[in-house]
Amino acid sequence: MNIVVCLKQTFDTEAKIVLNASGKIDDTGVTTVINPYDEYALEEGLRLKEKFGGEVVTVSVGGEKVQAAIRTALATGADRAVLVTDPALDGADEWVVAEVLAKAISQMPYDIILAGRIAVDDQSAQVAVRLAEALNLPSVSSVVKMETEEDKVLATREIDGGTEILEVPLPGVFTAQKGLNEPRYPSMMGIMKAKSKEIKVLTLADLGVAEPLAPKTSSPIITLPGVRQAGVKIQGEPLDSAKELVRLLSEEAKAI
């Protein structure tokens, strides 16, 4: 089985976010990791390989720094990796990333495509479903259980207030939710083997993209949340306190 796993490199969830003078996030000295939800996708891909044979290929879009996360995936058990990197991708939005992934993946054999349901940095949850649309494939999001056969998947996904079970023919795109599995850690043997595994680096020209893809959205300015103010304790009789609470919510908090 040809298994493709889309990987994104994100900040460690405990990293302190700092903005530079241009209002952009400064990644200097920040620890980066595989997006945690993509780890569930990778683990599911490795389990499918153990069940059906074949290979696991990771595909990523980003700068050269992404190779650190890719090497971790290779050490965990992925067979090889594809990284699309190009100066024209600076500032790429979800649509651009999905289109680039589609271009890269369409040039390789695939039976199933896996990704995390959401990235912990932008929280958009768009790339995988846009990728499925670009490749004209069925997709299922927030999957917590996969019963996979060679030609179809019985996928259990989270919905509001419960779960939904869908039977989907392959090839298809599935996004992993927490609870799908328990990701494994790289072994020492895996770390050593990862050094000799292929990371194929491609540019937009290699994918046949003659002109840069223009993002459909942009974030011109990023600001950090303001310092949280101390709460207000209202003293007095219940009736007077209630009136004061209503006044504060209306006049100061503008909540009502």
Give the full edge-to-edge strand order of the sheet including 173-176: 162-169, 152-159, 139-148, 173-176, 112-116, 2-6, 55-61, 80-84, 199-202
Higher pLDDT, 240 or 83: 83
Instruction: Report how far apart, in Å, the C-alpha atoms of 238 and of each of 199, 241, 242, 243, 248 are.
Output: 68, 5, 6, 9, 15
> CB–CB of 198/57 below 8 Å?
no
Confidence of residue 256 (pLDDT cuts 50, 70, 90): confident
Q: Structure pTM?
A: 0.86
Q: Are residues 192 and 240 in the same domain?
A: no
pLDDT at 25: 77
Amino acid at 152: K
Q: Are residues 55 and 153 in the same domain?
A: yes
Would the pLDDT of 255 be above 90? no
> How many domains does the structure of the chain reveal?
2
pLDDT at 37: 97
* Half-sphere exposure in the Cβ direction for 42 (13 Å, CA): 30
> CB–CB of 7/59 below 8 Å?
yes
Would the pLDDT of 13 be above 90? no
pLDDT at 27: 75
> Which range, of 19-23, 87-91, 149-153, averages the lowest pLDDT?
19-23
pLDDT at 131: 98
For all residues of the chain together, what is the average pLDDT? 92
pLDDT at 80: 97
Residue 175 covered by a domain: yes
Mean pLDDT of 151-165: 95
Q: Are residues 128 and 246 in the same domain?
A: no
Would the pLDDT of 219 be above 80? no
What is the percent of the chain where pLDDT is above 70? 99
Higher pLDDT, 23 or 134: 134
Per-residue pLDDT tens for 38-51? 999 999 999 999 99
Q: Are residues 81 and 192 in the same domain?
A: yes
Residue 216 covered by a domain: no
Per-residue pLDDT tens for 198-208? 999 999 999 99
Q: Are residues 66 and 190 in the same domain?
A: yes
Q: Are residues 235 and 150 in the same domain?
A: no
Would the pLDDT of 189 be above 90? yes
Q: What is the CATH number of the domain that holds 17?
A: 3.40.50.620
Q: What range does the domain containing 237 cover?
A: 226-256
Amino acid at 2: N
Distance, in Å, from the CA atom of 225 to the CA atom of 223, rounded to the nearest integer, reads: 7
pLDDT at 31: 82
Q: Are residues 132 and 240 in the same domain?
A: no
Q: Are residues 27 and 135 in the same domain?
A: yes
Confidence of residue 57 (pLDDT cuts 50, 70, 90): very high
